[in-house]
Structure 1
Amino acid sequence: MAVINFGSINIDHIYTVPHFVSPGETLSSSHYHSVLGGKGANQSIACALANCEVKHVGAVHKNDAPFVDILHTAGVNTDFIDQQSNTATGHAIIQVNSEGENAIVLFAGANHQLSSVRIDSILNNAGKNDWVLLQNETNAIGDIIDKAAARGLLIAFNPAPMTPNIAALALDKISLLFVNEVEAMQLTQTTTIDDACVALHNKYPNTKVILTLGKAGVKYMHKGHERVVSGFNVNALDTTAAGDTFTGYFLATYIKNEAAGISDPELALKTACAAAALCVTKSGAAPSIPSASEVAQFLAE
Structure 2
Amino acid sequence: MKVFNFGSINIDMVYRVPHLVQPGETLSSRSLETVLGGKGANQSVALARAGIDVRHIGRIGKSDQWAAEQMQAAGVDMQGVESVDGPSGHAIIQVDDSGENSIILHGGANQSFDRGVLEQRLSEAAPGDWLLMQNECNDIAEAFEIARQRQMSIAFNPAPMTAAVRQLPLAQCDVLIVNETEAADLAETDDPDEALAILAQRYPDTRLVLTLGSRGALLQYEGQQVSEAAVPVDVVDTTGAGDTFVGYFLAGLMQGLAERDALQRACRAAALSVTVAGATPSIPTLAEVDSTQDD
Superposed pair shares fold, TM > 0.5: yes
CA distance in 1, matches of 2:167, 2:102: 26
Q: Which amino acid aligns with 1:144?
A: A
Partner residue, 1:224: 223
CA distance in 2, matches of 1:240, 1:122: 29
SS of 1:79's equivalent? strand
Please list the CA deviations of residues 151-190 of structure 1 after superposition, one character each: whole Å capped at 9, or x if unmatched. 2110000000000110111000000000011110011110
1:10 pairs with 2:4: no
- Local SS of the residue matching 1:210: strand
In 2, distance between residues paired with 1:118 and 1:16? 38
The equivalent residue for 1:203 is 202
Secondary structure of the residue aligned to 1:300 is coil
Counterpart residue number, 2:290: 296
Q: Aligned AA for 2:52?
A: C
% identity of equivalent residues: 45
1:81 alignment partner in structure 2 = 81
Answer yes or no: is 1:126 the counterpart of 2:125. yes
1:61 corresponds to which letter in structure 2?
G
Distance 2:197 2:250 in 1: 24
Unmatched runs of 5 consecutive residues or more in structure 2: none
* Aligned partners of 2:62 and 2:86 also within 8 Å: no
Partner Cα separation in structure 1 for residue 184 and residue 289 of structure 2: 31
> How far did 1:7 drift?
0.6
- Is 1:238 the counterpart of 2:237 in the alignment? yes
Q: Choose 113-122 or 69-78, whichever is displaced more.
A: 113-122
1:46 equivalent to 2:46? Answer yes
| Cα offsets for 1:43-99 (capped at 9, x unmatched) | 000000000000000011111111101000000000110011x22110000000111
Could you tell me which of 253, 265, 272 is aligned with 1:278?
A: 272
Q: Which amino acid in 2 is paired with 1:214?
A: G
Whole-angstrom distance in 2 between the partners of 1:83 and 1:197: 39
The one-letter amino acid paired with 1:163 is: T
C-alpha displacement of 1:129: 2.0
Q: Spell out, residue by residue over 1:232-257, the C-alpha distance to the aligned partner (whole angstroms, 9 max, x if none).
A: 00011100100000000111111111
TM-score normalised by structure 2 residue count? 0.98
SS at match of 2:122: helix
1:58-69 map, 5 Å: 58-69=58-69
Structure 1 moving runs of 4+ over 4 Å: none
Q: How many Å apart are 1:226 and its aligned residue?
A: 0.3
| Pairwise CA RMSD | 0.9
**Normalization by structure 1: what TM-score?**
0.96
Distance 2:12 2:37 in 1: 5
